[in-house]
């Protein structure tokens, strides 16, 4: 358990605060995530893009207390009990390890899952030239990996299901043993972090199955698109960029929300899981203001939605091959918008 995590969660619960208030709604998911973390488990959040997974993890780290860590150590080693090769070597040589203060938001590292990510990227590697010069056990031969930069903090692993099976196995060892082993070398050191990983819910190109043994190391929590249009509007008003000198009337905001939500219910795209995320709602909200400004108007209109919808939504929507919209996302967007504006959809 990383320092201060349990205390931070318990304190905010005791005080009746929502420490994840940055995420609007999703009460059930937030409670499950906090319960898992309090129990000392890693969390895998399953949900579509744009529902606030990154924001949630960052916010959680920022709530953590400051800690003392060795100056210039990428692993935030505790000066009293260093773990990385560099600090251990310095300590063994009798050098005093100078401590600096690391704030909560610095106790965060983000990893992007991709098929190109290697075990060396994640855990670190040995530089052959330096190893030849000083020996493979020497800290000077060591190239730090990204995962260990999250030592004593939150490791956010986005799209974990896009990494190779080989990498999953490397990660499994760290999660199981709390120890990272560097390739073929007999160099390992403890890694203490809490992992918040994400995966997209449906199969897409380039997605690996997560192995059962790896899944077993996580509590899986589902997050979804905002539960209601009201919630989504609340997110829009909270996080959307508000430009000076442009008013966005309620009916325009409502139509934006309804349009994006309509794409999620659209049968031709629903199965593809390419429907528009909250980012599309935000993007459209910002663009109707921008176009009003460019046209020197003080108010955004429904017509601005018509002008900007394609550029905010077009690339996100992939109609299925059987659909009459297969080659014409634009017609799909226009038809959806018309039905929203005519009030056929809510």
Q: Shortest distance, CB of residue 345 to Zn ion, whole angstroms?
A: 56
Query: Binding segment for Zn ion among 46-54, 68-76, 154-162, 179-187 (CB under 5 A)?
Result: 68-76
Q: Shortest distance, CB of residue 91 to Zn ion, whole angstroms?
A: 9
Q: Shortest distance, CB of residue 107 to Zn ion, whole angstroms?
A: 15
Residues 73-92 that bind Zn ion (CB under 5 A): 73, 75, 77, 82, 84, 87
Query: Binding segment for Zn ion among 3-11, 71-79, 117-125, 169-177 (CB under 5 A)?
Result: 71-79
Picking from 335, 236, 323, the residue whose alpha carbon sits closest to that of residue 277 is 236
Q: Which is nearer to Zn ion, 67 or 87 (CB)?
A: 87
Residues 267-306 that bind Zn ion (CB under 5 A): none
- Is 67 a binding residue for Zn ion by CB under 5 A? The answer is no
What CA–CA distance (Å, rounded) separates 324 from 322? 7
Q: Shortest distance, CB of residue 79 to Zn ion, whole angstroms?
A: 9
Tokens of 56: 């949630």
Number of residues that bind Zn ion (CB under 5 A): 6
Query: Binding segment for Zn ion among 39-47, 67-75, 178-186, 296-304 (CB under 5 A)?
Result: 67-75
CA 321, chain centre distance (Å): 31
Q: For 98-136, b where at least 16 C-beta lie within 10 A, e where not — what string? A: ebeebebebbbbbbebeeebebebbbbbbeeebbeeeeb
Q: Shortest distance, CB of residue 140 to Zn ion, whole angstroms?
A: 14
HSE on the CB side for 129, CA within 13 Å?
A: 0
Q: Shortest distance, CB of residue 139 to Zn ion, whole angstroms?
A: 9
- Is 189 a binding residue for Zn ion by CB under 5 A? The answer is no
Contact predicate 69/77, CB 8 Å: yes
Q: Which is nearer to Zn ion, 87 or 102 (CB)?
A: 87
Q: Which is nearer to Zn ion, 34 or 73 (CB)?
A: 73
Picking from 87, 142, 89, the residue whose alpha carbon sits closest to that of residue 120 is 142
- Lookup result for tokens 């009293």: 80
DSSP conformational letter for 247: B
The three-state DSSP-derived secondary structure of 62-105 is HCCCCEEEECCCCCCCECCECCCHHHHHHHHCCCCCCEEEECHH
State the residues that interact with Zn ion by CB under 5 A: 73, 75, 77, 82, 84, 87
């Amino acid at each position: 358990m990383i320092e201060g995590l349990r205390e931070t969660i318990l304190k905010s619960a005791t005080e009746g605060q929502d420490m994840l208030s940055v995420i609007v709604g999703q009460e059930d998911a937030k409670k499950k995530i906090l319960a898992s973390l309090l129990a000392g488990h890693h969390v895998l959040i399953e949900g579509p893009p744009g529902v606030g997974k990154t924001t949630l993890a960052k916010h959680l780290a920022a709530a953590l207390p400051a800690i003392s860590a060795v100056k210039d150590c990428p692993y935030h080693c505790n000066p009293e009990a260093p773990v990385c090769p560099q600090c251990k070597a310095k300590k063994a040589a009798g050098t005093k390890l100078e401590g600096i203060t690391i704030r909560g938001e610095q106790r965060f590292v983000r990893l992007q899952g991709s098929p190109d990510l290697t075990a060396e990227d994640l855990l670190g590697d040995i530089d052959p030239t330096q190893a030849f010069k000083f020996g493979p056990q020497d800290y000077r031969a060591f190239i730090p990996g990204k995962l260990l930069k999250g030592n004593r903090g939150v490791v956010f692993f986005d799209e974990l299901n896009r990494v190779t099976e080989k990498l999953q196995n490397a990660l499994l060892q760290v999660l199981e043993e709390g120890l990272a082993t560097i390739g073929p070398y007999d160099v390992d050191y403890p890694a203490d972090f809490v992992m918040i990983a994400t995966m997209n819910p449906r199969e897409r190109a380039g997605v690996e199955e997560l192995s059962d043994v790896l899944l077993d190391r996580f509590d899986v929590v589902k997050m979804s698109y905002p539960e209601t249009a009201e919630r989504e509007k609340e997110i829009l008003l909270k996080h959307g960029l508000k430009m000076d000198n442009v008013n966005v009337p309620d009916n325009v905001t409502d139509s934006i929300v309804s349009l994006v939500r309509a794409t999620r219910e659209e049968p031709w795209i629903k199965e593809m899981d390419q429907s528009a995320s909250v980012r599309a709602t935000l993007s459209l909200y910002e663009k109707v203001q921008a176009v009003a400004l460019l046209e020197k108007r003080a108010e955004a209109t429904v017509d601005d939605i018509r002008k900007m919808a394609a550029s905010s939504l077009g690339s996100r929507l992939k109609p299925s091959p059987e659909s009459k919209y297969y080659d014409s996302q634009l017609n799909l967007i226009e038809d959806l918008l018309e039905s929203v504006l005519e009030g056929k959809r809510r």
